[in-house]
Amino acid sequence: MVEVGGNGRIWLLSGEHSSYALRLTRHDELLHLHWGPRLALADAEALAAEPPQRFRSFESRLDGREEYPVEGGPRFVRPALSVRAADGGGGRGSEWEFRGAETDDEVLRLTFRDPVHRLGVTLHYRMRAGSDVLERWATAVHEGGPGDPALDLLRLDSAAWTLPRADRRRLSHLHGRWAAESLLARAELTPGETVIGSRRGHTSHRHLPWVALDDGTAGEEHGEVYGCALAWSGSWRIAVQQLDDGVVQAVGGAGHDDSGLVRLAPGESYTAPVFAGLYTGGGFGAASRAWHAWQLAHVVPDAHTPRPVLYNSWEATKFDVELDHQRELARRAASMGVELFVVDDGWFGARTHAKAGLGDWTPNPDRFPEGLKPLADEVHGLGMHFGIWVEPEMVNPDSDLYRAHPDWVHHRPDRRRTEFRHQLVLDLGRPEVRTYLWEQLDELLRSAPIDYVKWDFNRSLTEPGAHTDPSLPHVQGLYGLLDRLRAAHPHVAFESCSGGGGRIDLGILSRTDQVWTSDNTDPLDRLPIQHGIGQIHPARVTAAWVTDSPNEQMQDRVSSLRYRFVSAMAGVLGVGGDLARWSGEELAEAGRWVELYKRIRPAVQLGRLYRLREPQEGLSAVQYVLGDDPERADEVVVLAWLQAQRYNESLPPLRLAALDTAAEYEVLAGGEPGEVLRGAVLAHRGLRTGLHGDLDATVVHLRRR
């Protein structure tokens, strides 16, 4: 809901439990008023009417108070906007004149103009009904005419988020590396700046574009938590600044540096990605649930359709893709109840190893002499959907595509072409590259009944641009290509992969159906990765596979199928082991786990998440809840894992959340009602897990009677 007061110069946006207020001074300065619990318009007006603070020399009266700090004037904070004319005229600072406001039920748009640079800037705010996530972004347009110099947007962030003053601030974020992505880090914020981001041209394994801030006292289910997340899949930056007076401001947007994001010719415009913010008074758990609900409602396509259980052949075959072996894997996968069979890397061109074939998206004639259709038909005949792996943005120098178009890759003519994994990156900013990829992929999707595409991206961008960030047109091109493919093939689902979790963000998630969380499929290592990514993204989008044990990455750890399945059930379940080597007993047991997963899937993928115990040593657990009343769960699923038990240690019961304490819950065993437990006992004493020993795990499925 958007309300306007103060003679049209105060705006209040309210969500389910929170409000956000801002005002315009008579000097056209746009000041932040409030972000936190719900306010009435009269409260926002009272805040705006307070006499201004006194400022002394060396103190800025705007720093930490503005909605969108620009470079220049009495400001010393990190600016969200820095612009200069390509010919250097007009300097770099900006001064704004207010042009006007537009509002509807959910959206506020405020437009300004810098008369010297002839740059129009619009700040957008959108608070959707039923949510507390406020979406913010900015657009810039070169309003000059023919003959005016181009404008270099050195930086144009999506938004600046200002938190109320507190004695302390603590920063949570997700960091990691390949095969250990999305690990939660939580530390005291100190005066100065903390910067996270990616200079790699993709979101990267190092950080996910999300931060949370609290006053150091919030817990899983209590306390005020602020969060910000960026919807962008190229290079990016979020800078969290703690200013002299304790005010904390977070600015974020596309591009990592301030040296040139995009160049606008007269008439051209740039729209920054959404940088969303969320306030909750209910702790980190409520923050995650609010992020999840918003993504399921407004970001992820068709999010209320549960994702199928898939089989992926990568860990079983690597590049040795062979038709009869794939058939055998498919038969075995079908026998265990798998719903989607995916052939990974190695089915196309000369791709029998990592050094060749990327770029040539036609089936390898030795491996698939009649194309993919016979295998796809066979997979469909087994009752499964059929999927394939592609990595369209890449090319091996040893490929027909590269031999024909060596200039299509990101490169500088006078420099070496940097290779990783023997591959170069096609420049998707170029229309002819996008056209080629569109034709290849469209043709591929028409050549066989393909239901699913795993879209991989296995290296970072390395060649810097001249004036602008090359990842910006690349990612815009990628988004356009994905949108076009989705529109032309609406029945095809897409997975975003980047060597595991190198491209997970709200931008890619608005045009893909799920993401490959990590190349690390070890079930114990996965728990903290899942704990981290679940801070922001729902289980509905985070794929997890059960693979062989030991597997290639973790040669020294052996775990039971039970442990591996229960670990992977905390996401979109998949199987990725070499099924040809699984015994009849293992296949039968796996089938029972798949069956159980299908029963709990609505709660896991679409329910509300409560983290009962963090994945540190010992016992950890999560709970998923279904039901219209958030305080009286209709259906509950608990997944619990025991890493290792100490001698004579008795494990604590798990106190369940969101239960109807006046009701009874029956344990569904094999889908059938069994033991009956009292809601109050489960909530106040807790659920006994029965776990013991090392690497044990369990699933408890409860339904309210």
Query: Which residues are part of the catalytic machinery?
Result: 456, 519
148 dihedral zone (left: phi>0; alpha: psi -120 to 50; beta): beta
Measured from each CB, the residue nearest to ligand DGJ is 345
Widest pairwise Cα distance in the chain: 82
124, amino acid identity: H
Min CB(536)–ligand DGJ separation in Å: 20
Distances (CA, A) of 243 to 54, 193, 213, 291: 17, 9, 15, 27
Asked if 138 and 83 count as a contact pair (C-beta separation under 8 A), the reply is: no
> What sign results for the dihedral spanned by CA atoms 49, 50, 54, 58?
negative
Question: Over the Cα atoms of the chain, what is R_g?
Answer: 26
3-state helix, strand and coil shares in percent for the chain, rounded to the nearest 5: 20, 35, 45
Q: Which helix (H) or strand (E) holds 246?
A: none
Residue 648 main-chain phi, psi, to 5 deg: 60, 20
Query: CA quadruple 204, 205, 210, 216: dihedral positive or negative?
Result: negative
Contact residues for ligand DGJ, defined by CB under 6 A: 314, 344-345, 389, 456, 458, 497, 499-500, 516, 519
Residue with tokens 């240690």: 649
* Of 289 and 537, CB closest to ligand DGJ: 537
| Minimal distance, residue 357 CB to ligand DGJ, in Å | 11
As a whole number of Å, the end-to-end CA separation of the chain is: 38
Cα–Cα distance measured from residue 501 to residue 444, given in angstroms and rounded to the nearest whole number = 26
Residue type, 128: R
Rounded least distance, CB 448 to ligand DGJ, Å: 19
Which of residues 232 and 314 has its CB atom nearest to ligand DGJ in the complex?
314
- Write down the least CB distance from residue 477 to ligand DGJ, Å: 21
Minimal distance, residue 596 CB to ligand DGJ, in Å: 25
Those residues whose C-beta lies under 8 Å from the C-beta of residue 381, and which sit 6 or more positions away, are: none
Shortest distance, position 314 Cβ to ligand DGJ, whole Å: 4
Shortest distance in whole angstroms from residue 505 CB to ligand DGJ: 16
Nearer to ligand DGJ, 24 or 343 (CB): 343
* CA separation for the pair 695, 560 (Å, rounded): 8
- Burial degree of 221 (CB within 10 A; 0-12, 13-18, 19+): middle
